[in-house]
Amino acid sequence: MQKPVCLISNTTGGKLQVNQEARAILNSIRQPVVVVSIVGLYRTGKSYLMNRLAGKQTGFSLGSTVQSETKGIWMWCVPHPRRDDVTLVLLDTEGLGDVEKGDEKNDTWIFCLAVLLSSTFVYNSMGTINNEAVKSLHYVTELTEHIKVKSTKEKAQDTSFDYVRFFPTFVWAVRDFILDLEIDGKRVTADEYLKNSLKLKNGTSKAVALSNDARECIQNYFPDQKCFVFDPPGSKEKLKVLDQLRDSELDPQFVKQTSAFCSYIFGFSKEKTIKGGITVTGSLLGNLAVMYVEAIRSGSVPCLENAVAALSKIENSTAVEESFALYRRLLGKRVKLPTETEEELSSVHDGCLKEALQLFMKRSFKDEDHKYQTTLMERVKEVYEGKCAENVEISRNRCAALLLQLEKVMSMDPEKSYMKPGGYQRFKADLNVLVKLYKNKPARGVKAEEALRTYLKEKNQLGKFILTADRNLSEQQRRLEEQQAQVERESQRAAAAKEQQRALERRMNDMERSRQENERQLRLKMERDRIAANEENQRVIDQKLRKQRALLEKGYREEAAQMNTKIRHLRNEISYEQEQNQGGICVLS
């Protein structure tokens, strides 16, 4: 992408809408995506940071007036500067609190969508992290009202344990910070400054409760918190043309801080995942955006579990179609019919199936009971059996045509050549030459012996007639010739039967190898999914352990004990889920 495009726009009726151009771009991205979104009050320099992450001077519109420049959510997909295996997706949002807009509900949904779609969520503010700045994050306290983890069928209420599985890393970017990073006369880091700012305030007033709610939500719902402070980039006049200035024209400390911010995002921002630790690709991200926006447009609350379930149906169906199409394309490209042996076609089938399964395993997720995988295997089996039948038919027809051609070339006309004394010996000699020429011909295919047996069976009747008519032969010689012909027929019948038996065994071996390859790749996928789920669960536990340590540091031993009980309960739930997921693999034929 040379420049950003609008991902989610505001229609004239105030409704959110996914832009189809942006969706098409996302659908073309099959790599995992690292999604970085930024939100904050309008005219606070969000777009400048996103342009720096894109490695560009311009891109996202900055503007130089008091009017909000960005409307909706804009997207810029760029190569990740440090990783070739992922794509960096940057989401710049319209400014919160725009007085011209006057729609706080729209702000809330923009905030929620930024949280739902990103793996790193940047909150951009001006000045300092004071009580007013925290209270301006009241959108955080409303997240649980506008986002549900579990479906309405679930009786249990959503907890912070549920949200922390889905929510992104929280990064607070404090712009135009002119104070010293000191607390009680001691130098602190930006992260320590944030941690201190998120401590709960004493008091029971409504204002204190509101600011404490925001603090608790940030601590409880976001798995990691990070902070960066930025000095003013330069004079007021320079701010108006910030996107036109070189680094040498900006405050050196601001340039250094911006570089540190970008370095952190590039080095530590993880791929976007959904429940179960499933990695999100560009196409998955596009489908997620559509589902969330449709839920908002319909007046319902986006549900993360429902979205994952709906996504799995879409992605698994697509995975079946694409994997099946790949199998057919590879099979058609790599095999030339007729093959000389069953093994040749079988070997090509094995390679094509392996690649098709690899694609399916990479694209699919939450294929419960392996329903979609079974569908893929059944469709592959049907095509392979059809290809085998086609291989047989082409071979049979080619061999029959070859035998007739050889017969014509050799002028084996019984009326002219064999119906006279010594004709039977000439007939046998010519037939032997024909068989030898036939067997030396390449590309006869898998039915070469069967076609020859059928041909010789037809010629057997002619041979008997010629033998009877040949007056040069004694009765004893005729019996010997008949016996020899019978031996040859039996030998040919045995060869054809052996060929048929080998074909049957080959087909059975094909099915067994397909089953084994299917099971092997399924085990690999299940192991990858298990590792991803464990990592997700560990992130949740680590976040709660940090919360527990913070409570102990403050002397809140009773609250820390309650948190320990919750952690123990969570570990028990995780152990139970792991046991449930360790069932046997469905064996597919």
pLDDT in tens, 5-56: 999 988 766 689 999 999 999 999 989 999 999 998 876 778 889 999 999 8
pLDDT at 505: 73
Whether residue 307 has pLDDT greater than 90: no
pLDDT at 249: 85
| Mean pLDDT over the full length of the chain | 82
Mean pLDDT for the stretch of residues 255-268: 95
pLDDT at 31: 93
Give the dihedral of Cα atoms 98, 100, 101, 107; nearest 10 deg: 10
- Residue corresponding to tokens 């913070």: 550
Mean pLDDT for the stretch of residues 399-424: 80
* 216 pLDDT tier (thresholds 50, 70, 90): confident
Give the pTM: 0.73
For residues 52 and 258, the answer to whether their CB atoms sit within 8 Å is: yes
d(CA 359, CA 357): 5
* % of the chain residues with pLDDT over 90: 35
- Cα-atom radius of gyration of the chain, to the nearest Å? 37
**80-105: per-residue pLDDT in tens?**
999 999 999 999 998 776 545 556 68
pLDDT at 410: 80
- Rounded alpha-carbon distances, angstroms, from residue 508 to 346, 385, 494: 11, 12, 21
- Rounded alpha-carbon distances, angstroms, from residue 515 to 98, 193, 228, 522, 586: 60, 58, 53, 10, 10
In DSSP terms, 279 is beta-bridged to 273
Whether residue 66 has pLDDT greater than 50: no
For residues 466 and 423, the answer to whether their CB atoms sit within 8 Å is: yes
In DSSP terms, 148 is beta-bridged to 303
* 588 pLDDT tier (thresholds 50, 70, 90): very low
Tokens of 368: 């419960």
At residue 225, the 3 state secondary structure works out as strand
Q: Look at 69-73, 348-352, 568-572, 579-583 and tell me which has the smallest mean pLDDT.
A: 579-583
For residues 131 and 212, the answer to whether their CB atoms sit within 8 Å is: no
- Residue corresponding to tokens 């199998």: 327
Mean pLDDT for the stretch of residues 66-85: 81
Whether residue 509 has pLDDT greater than 90: no
Whether residue 155 has pLDDT greater than 50: no
Whether residue 460 has pLDDT greater than 60: yes
pLDDT at 493: 73
- With vertex at residue 136, the alpha carbon angle to CA 243 and CA 118, rounded to the nearest 5 degrees, is 60
**CA contacts within 13 A on the Cβ side of 319:** 28
pLDDT at 561: 78
Tokens of 508: 């059975």
Q: Look at 380-389, 530-539, 580-589 and tell me which has the smallest mean pLDDT.
A: 580-589
Q: Does 252 sit behind a cis peptide bond, omega within 30 degrees of 0 on the bond before it?
A: no
In DSSP terms, 10 is beta-bridged to 16
In DSSP terms, 90 is beta-bridged to 36, 76
Whether residue 516 has pLDDT greater than 50: yes
pLDDT at 327: 96
Q: Look at 102-106, 225-229, 558-562, 576-580 and tell me which has the smallest mean pLDDT.
A: 576-580
Q: Which residue has the higher pLDDT, 410 or 120?
A: 120
- Residue corresponding to tokens 């309405």: 152
pLDDT at 200: 82
**Range picked from 34-48, 55-69, 530-544 for highest mean pLDDT:** 34-48
- The string of DSSP codes covering 505-538 is HHHHHHHHHHHHHHHHHHHHHHHHHHHHHHHHHH
pLDDT at 282: 95
Residue 219, Cα to own-chain centre: how many angstroms?
A: 31
The secondary structure of residue 82, as a DSSP letter, is S
pLDDT at 241: 64
**Within a 10 A sphere around the Cβ of 66, how many other Cβ atoms?**
10
Listed residue (143, 123, 136, 107) closest to 36, CA to CA: 123
pLDDT at 264: 96
